[in-house]
Structure 1
Amino acid sequence: MNEEILVNVTPMEARVAVVENGVAQDIYIERQSSRGIVGNIYAGRVVRVMPGMQAAFVDFGFERSGFIHLSDVLGAGAATEERIADHLQEGQLVTVQVVKDPISKKGARLTSQLSVSTRYLVYMPQSDHVGVSQRIDDSDERARLQEILAAALDCESMEGGGGFILRTAAEGVGDSEIRADLRFLKRLWTVVSRRAAEAQGPELLYEDLPLQLRAVRDLARPDVQRILVDSHENYTVLNEFCLKYMPEVADLVELYEGERPIFDLHSVEEDLQRALARRVPLKSGGHLVIDQTEAMTTIDVNTGSFVGRRNQEETLFKTNLEAATVLARQLRLRNLGGIVIVDFIDMQDAEHRRQVHRALEKAMARDLARNKITGVSELGLIEMTRKRTRESLERTLCEDCPSCEGRGVLKSAETVCYEILREIMRDARAYETGGLIVLAAYTVVERLQEEESAHVGDLESFIGRSISFRAEPDYTQEQFDIVLL
């Protein structure tokens, strides 16, 4: 498997794509205006204890207090007779970590069971468990890694103890890499512990890495051939990060200096746009219909125009086989999690059903998110679960449509603004013009002239041309045109 990681960073957002054999499989997006706080560690103050719910609210420096349950205070396996009031009191200073970002009117979900990660290790100061990622299924490799870690801990013991998990990326690595990660964790935790001891009130103690650094830390597996970065500044940052913490992948980091935008390589930008569509065409002529709801995601497989060469059973079998591979990729691209129900086209042949099931398992095996696939239900459906690791692509890039009262979605004004700025950059490189006029909906023009005005000014300076805007009342929020002068 030939993999590449494409990194596109602008002052507004960071985007990372994982490309396997020329086809985008994963896309990650993190915006500076709404960067998540999951993984961050804070000093917080208990503001309210609720014995009836066995929970408490903690002020950790945000507008809405965070929520922490007794199970998040004591950890897994805690005795059921324990009470929240025995562990937390109003006014008490506590050290907490965010496990779920604030959503809508709900505050963040917090835990006292802290953890910090490096490329190969997860350190858990409140635990004494030492384990290996479930994705490493070779028993000899698991034993080898545990022996390496045990030997490393004899030389680099952590003050106060703690537990560890060897991550999937540790498979095949040697003693020196594990020891380097352990030394880094030791230094990091010393700093976090000192800040926690000195804290007088709510404050940030530890912040997780930005997307582009997390992606290199977590995704630079042995199959990765190169990591392409499209700016000098971020190339330098990534290179220095790798040299310091991941020297074995430092040679993979390359500066992309091509004329085409980096996400135009391997049609990643097109895949990103298509991943927002409800209907996904299949090469055979069939198609998938993907519906994301609050409770679950449903995927319906249809034959469409594909009629097969011999008989109907062959048509259904071939369509379902192709659909199994395509829907696995779509789940990764769209980052759809939770319960997923797949309605494959009914097949009479039991062997065909088994082969489709095996094809789906094989396609999902490379997914980094933990997933579980059941057999075919009595209704002919395949049920599966996929762990939610972050907001879905649709939730990140889109907002509820005011015209249909939430029954559909459209790209947000922020998303359209960034598309316009990228399109201006593309046009400026391709054509010699005296200036540009952007025609767009009022909401988009208003945002470009206000919230995004600094970015527009930077872009004008960069391309050396003026950019003006005109609101078009008949344009929808997603529509825009750029007129070259």
Structure 2
Amino acid sequence: MKGTTIALDHWQGREAAALIQDGHLEDLLIDTDLPRPGTIYRGIADRPVKGQGGMFLRTPDGNAFLRQVKGLKPGQPLLVQVTGYAELGKAIPVTQRLLFKSRYAIVTPGAPGINVSRRIKDDDIREMVKEAAHEGLAEAPLPDEAGLILRSCCAEASPEDITEDVIAMCQLAANVLADTGTEAEILSEGDGPHAQAWREWTDPAHIAAQDGSFEHHEVLDMIDAAMRPHVPLAGGYSMIIEPTSALVAVDINTGGDTSFSAGLKANLAALKDLPRQLRLRGLGGQIIVDPAPCPKKDRKQLEGSLRAALKRESTETILAGWTQLGLMEIQRKRDRVSLKSLLKSAGK
């Protein structure tokens, strides 16, 4: 099946969205019972963590942890935003750097200025985008010391849609930043999968929003495949992806290919697909890759292949280097909950 489809449906009773490109599952968003990234709290400073430069906060959803704090006193209210999902038994990760993000516009408190995405090269389009934004700002001005980023997808949008988005984000930011409450409270809920898909999957696509769209577009089978450790690759190669309590182990195999270049070919195929596989499985943290045997001189080529694949990722992912045993070390932000955890919580 050629082309791009966005399927909006439910999986195991949870709201979900799937991005399908040319018949392959490219991305998957599934709602959880945990606080959504992007949620903004009025948190209450609780107790500092000595030696870590952090502070535990009280929120309506439990303890949160804020890094690199100075001058905070227990009992002090402050605005914080959820940055990702907490590991089991740990506090919700939050930041004081708030972002009010939509499909076309991002309001940035503490970072004044109006900026248009550099991906928009055409001067006429850039001017249209700025004019649409200024129309919105005339109705809903930016809060003091706040800025505005106009995203790359503005290039394909109508001026009216851009103006409407700017107004909505500026009004939301103004309401939240004007907060004067003193008790722990949720001030803005993070986006669910359907809203997040509209916000982030901006390339032209067919939208399938009817009930049963996952079954019709074979998304359920694709999710089942993403649950399995074994990942078949082109050329008869494969990799095994197995999360443990401490890390995610990735083992790359050459299969039946016994040629001299089999190791390099298998590694290149696996590293090209690895970011997508981690994304679909909701895996992050420490990732250790055991490559198929290949000469040490090929490592730069492998690193280049992985970095090229990571350029399309929105999740912060760092190639840390190689161990003495020839294993590749990767660090990936935990911004999703693993598929297996979601399946367990559904009682399966």
TM range (shorter): 0.7 to 0.9
The two structures, once aligned, show a CA RMSD in angstroms of 3.8
- Distance (whole Å) between structure 1 residues aligned to residue 170 and residue 76 of structure 2: 27
**Structure 2 residue aligned with 1:215:** 197
**Structure 2 residue aligned with 1:271:** 222
Map 1:47-446 onto structure 2 (within 5 A).
Answer: 47-48=46-47, 54-62=53-61, 64-71=62-69, 83-84=70-71, 88-128=72-112, 138=119, 140=121, 148-149=129-130, 152-153=133-134, 155=138, 157-170=141-154, 173=157, 176-193=160-177, 196-197=179-180, 199-219=181-201, 221-222=202-203, 224-231=204-211, 261-307=212-258, 312-348=259-295, 359-373=305-319, 380-397=326-343, 412=344, 414-416=346-348
User: Would the alpha carbon gap of residues 289 and 329 (structure 1) be closer, same or farther in structure 2, given more than 3 Å must change?
Assistant: same
In the TM superposition, residue 188 of structure 1 has moved relative to its aligned partner by: 1.7
- Distance (whole Å) between structure 1 residues aligned to residue 143 and residue 262 of structure 2: 63
- Distance (whole Å) between structure 1 residues aligned to residue 268 and residue 256 of structure 2: 16
User: Would the alpha carbon gap of residues 52 and 5 (structure 1) be closer, same or farther in structure 2, given more than 3 Å must change?
Assistant: same
Gaps of 5+ in 2: none
User: Would the alpha carbon gap of residues 268 and 142 (structure 1) be closer, same or farther in structure 2, given more than 3 Å must change?
Assistant: farther
- Distance (whole Å) between structure 1 residues aligned to residue 289 and residue 29 of structure 2: 24
Asked if the contact 1:131/1:146 (under 8 Å) is kept, the reply is no
User: Would the alpha carbon gap of residues 313 and 297 (structure 1) be closer, same or farther in structure 2, given more than 3 Å must change?
Assistant: same
Asked if the contact 1:141/1:172 (under 8 Å) is kept, the reply is no
Which is higher, the Rg of structure 1 or of structure 2?
Answer: 1
The DSSP-based 3-state class of the residue aligned with 1:110 is strand
Calculate the TM-score normalised by the size of structure 1.
0.60
Calculate the TM-score normalised by the size of structure 2.
0.80
Asked if the contact 2:319/2:331 (under 8 Å) is kept, the reply is yes
Aligned length: 344
In the TM superposition, residue 381 of structure 1 has moved relative to its aligned partner by: 4.7
User: Would the alpha carbon gap of residues 226 and 144 (structure 1) be closer, same or farther in structure 2, given more than 3 Å must change?
Assistant: closer
- Distance (whole Å) between structure 2 residues aligned to residue 331 and residue 3 of structure 1: 20
> What whole-Å deviation, never above 9, does each CA across 1:177-198 have from its counterpart, x for those lacking one?
443322111222233345x23x
In the TM superposition, residue 329 of structure 1 has moved relative to its aligned partner by: 3.0
In the TM superposition, residue 21 of structure 1 has moved relative to its aligned partner by: 0.5
> What whole-Å deviation, never above 9, does each CA across 1:63-109 have from its counterpart, x for those lacking one?
x33333444xxxxxxxxxxx42xxx3333333333334454333323
Asked if the contact 1:145/1:166 (under 8 Å) is kept, the reply is no
What one-letter code is carried by the residue in structure 2 that aligns with 1:228? A
In the TM superposition, residue 23 of structure 1 has moved relative to its aligned partner by: 0.8
Does 182-191 or 51-60 show the bigger shift?
51-60
- Distance (whole Å) between structure 1 residues aligned to residue 300 and residue 93 of structure 2: 41
The DSSP-based 3-state class of the residue aligned with 1:27 is strand
- Distance (whole Å) between structure 1 residues aligned to residue 124 and residue 145 of structure 2: 21
- Distance (whole Å) between structure 1 residues aligned to residue 219 and residue 157 of structure 2: 31
Asked if the contact 1:286/1:302 (under 8 Å) is kept, the reply is yes
Corresponding position: 1:23 with 2:24? yes
In the TM superposition, residue 334 of structure 1 has moved relative to its aligned partner by: 1.4
**Structure 2 residue aligned with 1:79:** none
| Larger proportion of helix | 1
Asked if the contact 2:37/2:335 (under 8 Å) is kept, the reply is no
In the TM superposition, residue 5 of structure 1 has moved relative to its aligned partner by: 0.9
Gaps of 5+ in 1: 72-82, 232-260, 398-411, 417-485
User: Would the alpha carbon gap of residues 366 and 37 (structure 1) be closer, same or farther in structure 2, given more than 3 Å must change?
Assistant: closer
User: Would the alpha carbon gap of residues 187 and 299 (structure 1) be closer, same or farther in structure 2, given more than 3 Å must change?
Assistant: same
In the TM superposition, residue 218 of structure 1 has moved relative to its aligned partner by: 1.4
Q: % of aligned pairs identical?
A: 27
- Distance (whole Å) between structure 2 residues aligned to residue 151 and residue 187 of structure 1: 16
- Distance (whole Å) between structure 1 residues aligned to residue 342 and residue 330 of structure 2: 23
In the TM superposition, residue 6 of structure 1 has moved relative to its aligned partner by: 0.9
Asked if the contact 2:272/2:305 (under 8 Å) is kept, the reply is yes
Asked if the contact 2:107/2:170 (under 8 Å) is kept, the reply is no
In the TM superposition, residue 19 of structure 1 has moved relative to its aligned partner by: 0.5
- Distance (whole Å) between structure 1 residues aligned to residue 337 and residue 34 of structure 2: 12
- Distance (whole Å) between structure 2 residues aligned to residue 30 and residue 299 of structure 1: 26
